[in-house]
């Protein structure tokens, strides 16, 4: 499953039945404790009802999709910059590395995983090191769809 696709409303395979189907209030209580409940959706299929983590209250990593998107972005930056390790730190090489990072992050934006991204590279010649600081805005996940009905008489 893609990093930007949440486990919410994804079916559980090989599940014949569910003993307990929590109410919305019970789902919310379970979610607050970091438990991802299994529920029966409107199509009578067992699905995950939540996609939270055990992150601390107020953390940026409360949603599983956020953690997965950030991890994927970090891995992509590591992958595209790996070819620059051991090369001379010339202006051309630095520009090439910045272009590679920018292209990789833009690719995640085109996929819909990121809404925006920015980065800054700090070069430390004395330590033969470059530090890449990422600023990411992961795409939010749609958790509920509310249907409202009005009847004209």
Distance between CA 19 and CA 46 in Å, rounded?
11
In the numeric block, the tokens 């004209």 are attached to 152
Residue 46 confidence class, pLDDT cut points 50, 70, 90: confident
More confident position, 95 or 38: 95
pLDDT at 52 over 90: no
For all residues of the chain together, what is the average pLDDT? 85
Which letter, b or e, does each residue of 15-26 get, where b requires 16 or more Cβ atoms within 10 Å of its Cβ?
eeeeeeebeeee
Task: Output phi, psi for 121, to 5 deg.
Answer: -110, 125
Domain count, the chain: 1
Q: Residue 14: its pLDDT value, please? A: 83
Mean pLDDT value across residues 71-91: 92
| pTM score | 0.75
49 CB burial (10 A radius; 0-12, 13-18, 19+): buried
Distance between CA 61 and CA 98 in Å, rounded?
27
In the chain, the largest separation of any two C-alpha atoms, in whole Å, equals 78
Structural domain range at position 143: 1-153
């Amino acid at each position: 499953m893609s990093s930007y696709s949440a486990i919410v409303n994804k079916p559980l395979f090989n599940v014949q039945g569910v003993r307990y189907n929590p109410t919305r209030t019970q789902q919310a209580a379970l979610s607050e404790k970091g438990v991802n409940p299994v529920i029966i959706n409107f199509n009578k299929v067992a699905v995950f009802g939540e996609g939270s983590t055990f992150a601390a209250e107020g953390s940026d990593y409360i949603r599983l999709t956020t953690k997965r998107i950030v991890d994927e972005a970090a891995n992509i930056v590591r992958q595209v910059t790996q070819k620059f390790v051991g090369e001379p730190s010339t202006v051309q090489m630095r520009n090439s590395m910045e272009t590679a990072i920018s292209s990789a992050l833009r690719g995640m934006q085109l996929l819909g995983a990121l809404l925006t991204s920015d980065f800054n590279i700090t070069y430390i010649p004395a330590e033969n090191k470059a530090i890449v600081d990422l600023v990411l805005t992961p795409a939010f996940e749609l958790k509920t769809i509310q249907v409202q009905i009005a009847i004209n008489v």
